[in-house]
Every structure is written in structure tokens, then in C-alpha cells.
Structure 1
Amino acid sequence: MTGVENALGPLFLLILLGALLGWRRLPGGDFWPHLERLIYYLLFPAMLVATLANADVSRVPVGRVALALLGSMLCFAGLLWLLRKRLEMDAAAFTSVFQGALRFNTYVGVAGAAALHGSAGVTVAAVAVALMVPVVNVLCVAGFIAAGTLGPSSLTKSLAALARNPLILACVGGIVLNLSGIGLPGWSGQAVELLGRAALPLGLVAVGVALRPRALVRLDRGVWTANLVKLLLMPALALSLALLLGLDTVNRDVVLLFAALPTATSAYILARQLGGDAELMAALITGQTLLAMLTLPAWLTLAG
């Protein structure tokens, strides 16, 4: 096996473990929804704060990383809207395709960056999260609004939730602590770092639990469109931009990794709450996560 496969293999095993636990309904009850909330609201934000507060972000070419990642994301967001009529989908299905093509699984991304390049990879990944999470959330909420699936009351709730997004707040907090020179003083640094260490393994298992194998029977135009953009076209554009911009190996790999990630499991909840096609979203999440076990190593091996 290649170094890439050795690095990513354990991550995929944790996802498959989660799928097995979800299939067997272990531990049962509402354990997993509560754990997902704990990861999302506490453990993963702690990891982002711990990384950004003490990282030497000056070593990350933020402008070029942003151009490669956000440039490819905005390009395909615009392209999907231009092709909306030709895709011949109803509004609900289109919003799910839009989310499936743009959203990314942060747990897999940060864990993959750590496996490939250690602390240097995690630093670049945290910067990528800080850049991409606000933009992708604004784009997707705007997509629901433009498609007409979002009522006025839901719009207010969505904007309020965006302002309270724990990942956005964690990134802002970590950057402020870094730039102010305060960092995480005393025992707080070790405590927050210990919390953050639990985020990635538990997050990967939770990704597997959220998979819905029954949704794989859906193979319509929406599935093919979102998968083509997310797993092939976007990483191809991001890699091309990274090479043109002269990014070094670590930054190039993290840019490619985040561009090629499967869509986020949280997209299913948004599809249900904001008028999207939840069944299509479940098919995209499950299919992309499983396909990414092949496409992610392939892209990173090609880049290397």
C-alpha cells in the first residue's frame, strides 16, 4: 500500500466501525444523536481553538490557500445555478444537489490532514475550516432562499443559527487568541487540547453511524451531478489552482483533500429543516462517503 492509503486507511476503518454500530443499533436509544451534539458543540470547536490559538499561521499562505479552495467552490456554485434549468430538477432536489456538491465533511478533512502531515497538516486544515465553513454555510442558505424552499420564519432561524455556528465561533476565537498573543495560557491549553483529541476519532465513528445504506438505491440525475462535481471536478480544479499558485506539498495536499471530501452529514438535517429533498441528501451523503474511500487516496496519490 502507498503512504496515502496507510494514512487514510485507519480513518475509513473508523467510519466503517460506525456504520456497523449504526446497523446493529449499538449502544441503542438516543446515544448517537447526543454524542454528535457533544462533538459538534464542544469537542471539535475545542480542537479548532487549540490548533488556531497556538499555531504559527504565518507559515500558511492563507491568500493562496483561500484562492484555491474558495475559488473552486464559488466556481461550481455559480456553474450549478447556471445549469439549474438544464438539470430539470424541482427546487427541493436542486438544493440537495447544491449542498451535496459544496459541503464537506470537516471530521474526515482534519483527520486526513493530521494523518498525512501531522501538526503542520492540522494547522493548514484549521485555516481551511476557518475559510470554508462561513462561505459554504452562506452559499447553502442563500441557495435555499433563491430556490424558494425557505419561508420567512425559517430564514430568520437560519441566519441566527449561522451566527451561532460553533465551528465559526471556534475559528474566530482561536484566531483572536492567536493574534492577540494571549494563546491558551496555563492549564487551559492542555485541557482544551485534551478535549480536542477526542473529536476526530469520535467524529469519524459518528460519520459511519449516520450512513443510510438503503438510500444507495437512488441513482438519478441529481446523484450523478452532485457526485461528479464533488468527487471529480472540484478536486481537479482545486489541484490545478494549487499547482498554478505554487503551493508546497503540505498546503497542496490539504487543499486537494478538502476539495475532494464527501459532503457533510449535517446536510441531511438542513435538507429536512429548510425544505430540501432529504431522501436525495441521504443518498448523496452515503454514496459520497463510501466512494471517497476510493477517490481520496487516488487523488492524493496522483498529486504526490
Structure 2
Amino acid sequence: MSAFAAALVPVILIVALGQFLARRGFVPPEAFRALDRLSFLVLLPALIIRALANAEFDGAPWLMLGALISAQVLLGAFGLTARFWPGMTRPATGTIVQSNVRWNTIIGLSLGGLLFGDEGLALVSLAAAAMIPVANVISVYALVSHAQRPPGEKPRPLLALTRNPLIYACLIGIALASFDLRLPVIADETLKMLANAAIALGLLSAGAGVDLGALTRAGLRTFTWSLVRLIGLPALTLVIGLAIGLEGLPLAIALICAATPTAPNSYVLARELGGDTTLAANFIAAQTTLAALTLPLTWLVILLLGAV
């Protein structure tokens, strides 16, 4: 557990630093938005390309992807049962489905890299290559189909995926690894320098984006569905993974990815597609906070299974 604490505590501290800088006004909101854009377009793609290009995969990671995607789909479908809660609105139901299928890639990359080095980074990147498209498609359709006032422009989730630089980064990295093409030294070092900045800046922005005031507004619905997400996704991943023979490091990485909180950009998508923006903000704040407790429990399960 000490190794996990040594990996988790720096993540928490950097997220807290981002929150402090934002709340005190040391870094203006527009600066964090610029950092988000820089990370999305340049830094994260560099990290993913380098991690995947330098990886050596066997058959096990594909079982990992099967477990994660299956768990995503099942928990997303379970979110539809929220419509039967007393007083639940349609936009809130769509927002719950989105919360159930999204995950914080930055936290996953941070923990994977700190705990397992380059191999951990590569496996989390591979998970991102599969889970990001699935999460985007499910989220868009859930939000639009449950919006009270559908937006004037019909969303095109598949078109949006073709404009996502993370998807291209995953495809490039996987192609390089599949054909055993090694990056030239200069290219590798350049990508390494960009990748080193990706995680720290991403965590700072994630912290800045957490609305702590949302915690005071959050009620039973927020905390119940937050726990469903934080416990349910890794639990489903574990059951499915064990059933199909997933073990070792790929199992550990799958559980870590599944145990991360929902993605900070879920608020933006909820706002654009007619979701419940208040509930989306509450989920981000509650899950980011609760994950400090549920992630160590996930690591304990990993140790008990002997996956690492």
C-alpha cells in the first residue's frame, strides 16, 4: 500500500494546488482554459504516441480492453434506471449515464506511470484508445435523447471523434507498435519532453476545474450515483476480467482506470447538449473528492488478487 500512497498523494497534492491557484486568483480562468487546450492538442497526444510506440503488447491487453468496454456499456445502461427515481428529470438521467461511462484519463495516466513506469503508461494509453470513443458516443446519445430542449444543431458524435487528437494519437502509437517501428532518438526525446509536461498541467487544470461549492449543493442523488460510478465500474471490470481470464498487470491497470472519477469535461458536454449542468458539476466535485477514498480500496483489491 505504501507504493500506491506514494503515487496517489502527489496526484492529490497537484490537484489541490490547481484548486488553490484558481480560488486565490493567482492563475486566471482563461489561463487554465488555454492549458486545457494545449494539453488536448499537443501534450497528451505526445504522451500517448510515445507510450504506445515504445510498448510491447501480448494478448493480455486485448482482454483488458474487452473488460473495460463491457463494464462501460453495462454501467451506462444501468444509469438509465435513474429515470425511475422520484423527481428525476430527463436531463439528469442523461447526465448520470454520462457520469457512469466517463473516466479521468489524466489521473489514470498519472497512477499508471508512477506505479508501473512506461509499461503502465502504455497500458493506460491503450485503455484510453478504446474507452474514449465508447464514452463519447454513449454520452452524446444519452444527453441528447434525454434533453428537455434538444439543441438546434443535431450532434454528430462519430464526426466529433474524427476531430479528436487523442484518437489520432492512439492510432499512430498503435500503428508504430504493431509494425515494430521505433521512434528516432530525436523524435523520442522531443515527445518525452512534451509528455513530461502533460500530466502535471493536466492535474493542475483538473483541480482548478473542481467547483467545491458544488459539494455544498450535492445531495443524496449526487453521492449515491457517484458511489455507483466509483465502485460499480471497477467491480464490473473485475468480474468481467476474471471471467475472461484477465490477470496480472493488465488487470491492475484496468481496475485503476475504472476507479478514476468522471472526466472534468463532462460539464462542458452536458451544457452543450441539454444535460443537467448543476448535477454534472456536482458529480465532478463529489467523485474527485470521494476517489481519494475509493482508489486505495481498489488498490487493496489489486493486492489481494496478487495482480502485481
Q: Structure 1 length normalisation: TM-score? A: 0.92
- 1:105 touches 1:262 (CA, 8 Å); kept in 2? yes
1:63-74 matches, within 5 Å, as: 63-74=62-73
Counterpart for residue 15 of structure 2: 15
Counterpart for residue 35 of structure 2: 35
Q: Displacement of 1:225 after TM fit?
A: 3.9
Unaligned stretches of 5+ residues in structure 2: 304-308
Counterpart for residue 306 of structure 2: none
| Deviations, residues 250-282 of structure 1 (Å, cap 9, x unaligned) | 212111111111000010111111111111111
SS in 2 for 1:198: helix
Change in 2 beyond 3 A, CA 1:286/1:82: closer
- Distance of 1:78 and 1:29 partners within structure 2: 35
Counterpart for residue 173 of structure 1: 172
- 2:82 touches 2:88 (CA, 8 Å); kept in 1? no
- Distance of 2:150 and 2:193 partners within structure 1: 40
Instruction: Name the amino acid aligned to 1:117.
Output: F
Q: Displacement of 1:186 after TM fit?
A: 4.2
- Distance of 1:215 and 1:21 partners within structure 2: 18
| Deviations, residues 91-150 of structure 1 (Å, cap 9, x unaligned) | 211122112121100000011111111112111111111111111111111212322454
| Deviations, residues 181-217 of structure 1 (Å, cap 9, x unaligned) | 4342341121112111110111111111111011112
Instruction: Name the amino acid aligned to 2:24.
Output: R
Counterpart for residue 267 of structure 1: 266
Q: Displacement of 1:27 after TM fit?
A: 2.2
Counterpart for residue 218 of structure 2: 219
- Distance of 1:117 and 1:242 partners within structure 2: 20
Q: Displacement of 1:57 after TM fit?
A: 2.1
Q: Displacement of 1:86 after TM fit?
A: 4.1
- Distance of 1:113 and 1:20 partners within structure 2: 25
SS in 1 for 2:27: coil
- 1:120 touches 1:250 (CA, 8 Å); kept in 2? no
Change in 2 beyond 3 A, CA 1:18/1:29: closer
Counterpart for residue 230 of structure 1: 229
Instruction: Name the amino acid aligned to 2:194.
Output: L
- 2:214 touches 2:282 (CA, 8 Å); kept in 1? yes
Instruction: Name the amino acid aligned to 1:108.
Output: I
Q: Displacement of 1:34 after TM fit?
A: 0.4
Change in 2 beyond 3 A, CA 1:301/1:264: same
Counterpart for residue 93 of structure 2: 94
- 1:80 touches 1:98 (CA, 8 Å); kept in 2? yes
Counterpart for residue 57 of structure 1: 57
| Deviations, residues 158-180 of structure 1 (Å, cap 9, x unaligned) | 54322211111111121122223
Q: Displacement of 1:51 after TM fit?
A: 1.0
- 1:97 touches 1:222 (CA, 8 Å); kept in 2? no
SS in 2 for 1:104: coil
Counterpart for residue 193 of structure 2: 194
Change in 2 beyond 3 A, CA 1:76/1:180: same
- 2:63 touches 2:244 (CA, 8 Å); kept in 1? yes
- 2:261 touches 2:284 (CA, 8 Å); kept in 1? yes
- Distance of 1:131 and 1:208 partners within structure 2: 25
Answer with 252-261 or 78-87: which moved more: 78-87
Q: Displacement of 1:82 after TM fit?
A: 4.3
| Deviations, residues 209-242 of structure 1 (Å, cap 9, x unaligned) | 1110111122335413421221112212212333
- 2:144 touches 2:273 (CA, 8 Å); kept in 1? no
1:83-122 matches, within 5 Å, as: 83-86=82-85, 88-122=87-121
- Distance of 1:161 and 1:259 partners within structure 2: 23
Counterpart for residue 6 of structure 1: 6
Instruction: Name the amino acid aligned to 1:297.
Output: P
- Distance of 2:144 and 2:79 partners within structure 1: 15
Q: Structure 2 length normalisation: TM-score? A: 0.91
| Deviations, residues 2-51 of structure 1 (Å, cap 9, x unaligned) | 22112211111111111111111122262111011101111001100111
- Distance of 1:41 and 1:222 partners within structure 2: 35
How many pairs are equivalent? Answer: 302
- Residue identity over aligned pairs, in percent, reads 33
Counterpart for residue 284 of structure 2: 285
Q: Displacement of 1:88 after TM fit?
A: 4.5
SS in 2 for 1:259: helix
Q: Displacement of 1:76 after TM fit?
A: 1.2
